[in-house]
Each structure stands twice: as C-alpha cells, then as structure tokens.
Amino acid sequence: MSGYIGSRLRKLSTSQKVLLVVGGFGVVALGSYVAAPNPTPPWVHSGDPQCAITYESGDDANTFWSANTTVTGELTTHMTDSGGNVYSHGGQSQPGTTDFTAPVPLDSVLHLDGVLTGGGRTYSCSVAPAQ
C-alpha cells in the first residue's frame, strides 16, 4: 500500500487488526482494535502443592491433562464436558507425573479437578494450563 492510508496502516502494531469500511470512492471509517486474550476457564484454581494438574489441548478432538504428585496415595481426577459426560480416572499414584486423556476438545470442557488422598490426608489438586 502506498500513500497516506498505507503509511498509517504500516504504523499499527502486529497485535492490532484494522477494519476498513469502504463507501463510494474512498474510506469512510478507519479503526483498530486489540484482540482480547483467551479467558481463563473458571475451573482453574490453586490447591495443595502435593498435587498439581496441568491441562492442554492436544488437537481439535482431545484434551490432555497431567497430575504431578509429591506423595503416594489414591489419585482421582474428573473432567466434565458440555454434553454432561464425566471422564473419571482413579487409582494408586506414586510421586511423579500421571497423564490422562479425554476425547473432548478443550473448548468443550466445563470442569476439571482432582483429589489426592495419602498418608491420612486429602489434598485438593491445583489446576492450571500447561506451560
């Protein structure tokens, strides 16, 4: 692009989008906006350091999550999707990472949580996006 409009467009940052409304022979309006970041799901929360769940979208059809535990015990995780399906995983867990998968796209997940019971204590797992 050249001219006045081209010089104005080149000055916008890459995080901005430009909307041009053309009417007749010229530009009627020129505006910009900054895209909003993806909102954090309401089920992301802090918990006990003995159990930390991280999640990520594997592809368009699956959600993956991992539970990192620091004590031996019974680990149970639950994920609920927008269709009302519940994906529960439970079993004995050693300190370290345990991986889980559900055949649900991340944008359809309504809830994800976990609980670790071991050594006579119950720990609520934190839930956060994978880094």
Domain holding 109, by residue range, is: 48-129
What is 67-126 written as a DSSP string? EEESS-EEEEEEEEETTS-EEEEEEEE-SEEEEEEESS-GGGEEEEEEEEEETTEEEEEE
The answer to whether position 54 is within a domain reads: yes
42 assigned to some structural domain: no
Give yes or no: residues 115 and 76 share one domain: yes
123 or 35, higher pLDDT: 123
pLDDT tens string 13-62: 443 333 333 333 444 444 444 444 556 788 898 999 999 999 999 888 99
Report residue 11's pLDDT band, with 50, 70 and 90 as the boundaries: low
Task: Please give the backbone phi and psi of residue 5, each rounded to the nearest 5 degrees, phi first.
Answer: -60, -45
Element (H, E) at 38: none
Count of domains forming the chain = 2
Asked whether residue 39 is assigned to any structural domain, the reply reads: no
Say which CATH number the domain at 117 has.
2.60.40.10
Distance CA 123, CA 87 (A): 20
pLDDT-based confidence at residue 7 (cuts at 50, 70, 90): low
Residue 8 has pLDDT above 70, yes or no: no
Q: What is the pLDDT of residues 74-122, one digit of tens each?
A: 999 999 999 999 999 999 999 999 999 999 999 999 999 999 999 899 9
The reply to whether 12 falls in a domain is yes
